[in-house]
Structure 1
Amino acid sequence: MAENKDRCPFLREDKVAFCRAFPLRKPLPFDKIYARENLCLKGEYLRCPIYREKEGGKERTPKRICPFLEIETVMYCDLFPIKKMIPSSCYKLECPCTTERYTECPLFLGMAKGDLSTPSGMEEVGGFSLGPYIYCEGHFWLQEEGEERVKMGLDDFGQFLIGPIKGISLPGRGQRLTKGHPFITLISRSGEAQLPAPLSGDVVEVNEEVERDPSLVNFDPYGRGWLLQVQPEGWSRQRGLLHGEEAKRWLAEEVERLRYLLQSEIGVTMADGGELLRDRLQEVGRERWDLLVETFLKKGGMKNVGSP
């Protein structure tokens, strides 16, 4: 088969199985459905309590495969340090992975240069990347760039909640930011979100590359996807900043909160092994997406509005 030059060579496919009768859409690695204890591929699925409840105890002539078994193809990046699975149907939308733009991807460029080492200090917490930065409860990361400058961006957890970003509105150079007040607008497939500033100060530099290509916030949130550089006010006195072990504990708690909301209140589930199946947020609808953005990205940023 001829190589498809419009598709990244590191884009991989896998299959997962779902039970359509189960109240939560829980993916199971495809090979596990052949396990001896699994009833899905045997006539014995008639003994499955979930099947019996769904069918109301009706007697059926058994077939070889349970009628509620669903197989779906998912895709993931073989270069990314965390295996984040997305249904192949989502790639019908234009994205760098399935167009000639994959050559602009930081991971692909790293492979081309022979440098695929994980950035120094990067860790994984609950399926999300956490770098050696200072974090705010509204899921922005901050990095000091000298005594009078702070670079900021949206962290991996934050960009995941927003979803594939199609548009972005950033403040201009010289504009004043006030902590807790809206300063950025992100537009995704799920909706539009105005997020509060994590600190007060004057904008001294704007990432024009992100303005041209907002998807960089998704694909490289700690690198080319940075947003602004700010001359902060009261930086050393600001409360609610997290780093090191404290940031790791906080992010782990955020992942658990998200897990609870998705499973118990919204009806979306995560993959086995604790990784979040990232595409599932696209199933929650606008109202519930707004709830997630409000819960994790706005309320955290709105805390201590009266502080510097």
Structure 2
Amino acid sequence: MSEVNGCLLPGDLWYWPEKHVWVRGPEEDGTVVVGMTDVAQHLAGKIVVVNLKAPGRALAQGKSAGTLESGKWVGSIPTPVAGQVTEINEAVKKNPAVVNQDPYGAGWLIRVRPDNWEEGSKILVSGAEGIAVYRAKLEAEGIQCQS
């Protein structure tokens, strides 16, 4: 786990730094898990409502997979890869604070079967490169996460 400007960034995930979302996978069944980064949950503040697109819905890359609401923000959850929603995290709908408490674990949002992982993942970064790209973005925008 890397820490950049107080923000936690696991090295084993794929990131779309511009949109503050992460992807884990692909899993053995070809699906990927999507969530928002520690950066995003810090910027949003305390999450109070999570609405997610239903399983079976087709999602276009960059389009909304659902919405999050906090005391100071309402926003869309951008889809990092095009595909079909196979599962949503019902636990975060019932207890949205889990997204703040554990954004990379219990706070995941949706599971997607990508239409074309090889093509879709080209906008994502991972490993040391991913951390470096995210570091540059946070520093350029002056973003700090507070514990």
Q: Which TM-score applies when normalising by structure 2? A: 0.90
The structure with the greater share of residues assigned to strand is: 2
Moved over 3 A (4+): 275-278
Pair 255,231 (structure 1): closer, same or farther in 2 beyond 3 Å: same
Consecutive unaligned residues in structure 1, runs of 5 or more: 1-121, 263-274, 279-308
TM value normalised by structure 1: 0.44
Task: Name whichever structure is richer in helix by fraction.
Answer: 1
Structure-2 separation of matches of 1:276 and 1:200: 29
1:58 aligns to what? none
Give the whole-Å Cα distance in 2 for the aligned partners of 1:148 and 1:189.
36
2:91 to 180, 192, 209: 209
Q: Which residue number corresponds to residue 6 of structure 2?
A: 127
Q: 1:202 to 1:171 in 2, by over 3 A?
A: same
Output the CA distance in 2 between the equivalents of 1:141 and 1:194: 14
The superposition leaves residues 91-128 of structure 1 with CA deviations (integer Å, 9 ceiling, x where unpaired) of xxxxxxxxxxxxxxxxxxxxxxxxxxxxxxx2212211
Q: Distance in 1 between matches of 2:98 and 2:75?
A: 17
- Matches for 1:131-170 after TM superposition, within 5 Å: 131=10, 132-137=12-17, 138-144=19-25, 145-170=27-52
Q: Distance in 2 between matches of 1:148 and 1:276?
A: 33
- Which structure: larger Rg? 1
> Per-residue deviation at 1:147?
4.5
Which aligned pairs between 1:28-107 and structure 2 lie closer than 5 A? Answer: none
Structure with greater contact order relative to length (CA < 8 Å, sep ≥ 6): 2
Q: 2:68·2:76 contact (CA, 8 Å) conserved in 1? A: yes
How far apart in 1 are the matches of 2:145 and 2:24? 27
Partner Cα separation in structure 1 for residue 38 and residue 104 of structure 2:
8
RMSD: 1.6
Query: Which of these residues, 122, 141, 147, is aligned with residue 258 of structure 1?
Result: 141
Question: Is 1:249–2:132 an aligned residue pair?
Answer: yes
Write out aligned runs for 1:12-27 (5 A): none
Q: Matches of 2:4 and 2:77 in 1, distance apart?
A: 23
**Structure-1 residue corresponding to 2:64:** 182
CA distance in 1, matches of 2:29, 2:92: 25
